[in-house]
Chain A
Amino acid sequence: MGVKVYGPTMSTCTARVLLCLEEVGAEYELVPINLSTGEHKQPAHLARNPIGQVPAFEDGALMLHESRAIARYVSRKYKSSGADLLKEGGLEESAMVDVWLEVESHQFDPAIGPIFFQSFIVPMIGGVPDQTVINTNLEKLCKVLDIYEARLSKTKYLAGDFFSLADLSHVPLLYYFMGSPHASVVNSRPHVKAWWEAVSSRPACKKVTSAMPGSA
């Protein structure tokens, strides 16, 4: 029996898991969860994810949540010569993958997340974006991207000259961001721009992002 992902395709964290499943070529079923009706806070979903968020993930008796943990599990379970997203066979390579996974989590996401929320989610629920929040976080994001620019001028991908889960983990929020008026902060940094073009043109990325809504 295949694995199940519970969550909406437009959700960035659900997309993170789908991207990983597509990259490793796994069979899976997507069970939609309706956020607008609060389905994620109902008992059936809370039994899968007690935090009441999406996604959740089911593999037989194993129930997981937290998209970054699920992505690690998928990468490990389906590891093959063609899909080694974690490089756990090499102490130094896996260390670099882990460093840039944490950078995504603790440096990139806190800066880009609020911009995404203000630019995409707030208008969708009928509010007015807070331009101060956007500007403050754009400034933060630019400093982070300067570090990425320096890094990617030395290596082709974030963890080294090999594609890894660290690169993939950036796709969901960056996909939305590149469809916003702020894409210039990526496009003005040539190595970051080239890296984004290489990552986003991967078949797995094109497949998953094509199911996500287009632009701000």
Chain B
Amino acid sequence: MGVKVYGPPMSTCTARVISTLEEMGAEYEVVPIDFEAGEHKQPPHLARNPFGQVPAFEDGDLMLFESRAIARYVARKYKSSGPDLLREGNLQESAMVDLWLEVESQQYNPAIAPIVYQCLVIPMRGGVADQKLIDANVEKLGKVLDVYEDHLSKTKYLAGDFFSLADLSHLPYTHYFMATPYASLFESRPHVQAWWQDLSSRPAVRKTAAAMPTSR
């Protein structure tokens, strides 16, 4: 029996899991969760994810949540038939994958997520974006991207000259960020821009992104 992903495919964190499944060539089923109806806060979903968020992930008896943990599981489970996204056979390479996975999680995500939320999600719900918050995070993101620019001038991908889960984990928010007025933050940094072009042109990434509409 195949694995199941519970969540809307357009959700950033659900897309993180779907893109990993696609990269690994795994069979999977997406079970949509209706955000607008608050389905993620109802008992059936809370039994899958007690934090009431998406995605959740089911593989037989195993129920997982937290997209970054699910992605690791998928990368490990399908390793023999797909690419080596974690490099766990090599101590130095896996250390670099883990490092840049944490940089995404602790530095990149906190700066980029509020910009995406304010520019795209809030207006979609009929609200007014907080420009001060956007400006503060654009400044933060710029500093983070300077570190990426310097790093990517030395290696082709984040963990080294090999594509890894660290690169892939940046897809969801970056995809939506490119639909905000701030995409120039990437355009003005040639190595970051080239890295994003490369990442976003991968077949698995294009397929995942097709379910993530950016026009309102």
Contact = CB atoms under 8 A, between A and B. Distances in A.
A66 B102 contact: yes
A23 to B, nearest CB: 18
Contacts of A101: 69
Nearest to B144: A51
Contacts of A147: 50-51
B64 A50 contact: no
A104 to B, nearest CB: 10
Contacts of B101: 69
A34 B150 CA distance: 26
A153 to B, nearest CB: 12
> Chain B interface secondary structure, helix, strand, loop or mixed?
helix
A65 interface: yes
B131 interface: no
A66 B66 contact: no
Band of interface residues on A: 20 to 34
B99 A69 contact: yes
A62 B62 contact: no
A50 B66 contact: no
A98 B102 CA distance: 13
Contact of A50 (B65, B68, B69, B147): B147
B73 A98 contact: yes
A68 interface: yes
Contacts of B99: 64-66, 69
A94 B151 contact: no
B136 interface: no
B150 A50 contact: yes
Contacts of A124: none
Across the A-B interface, the 4 shortest Cβ-Cβ residue pairs: A102-B66, A66-B102, A98-B69, A69-B98
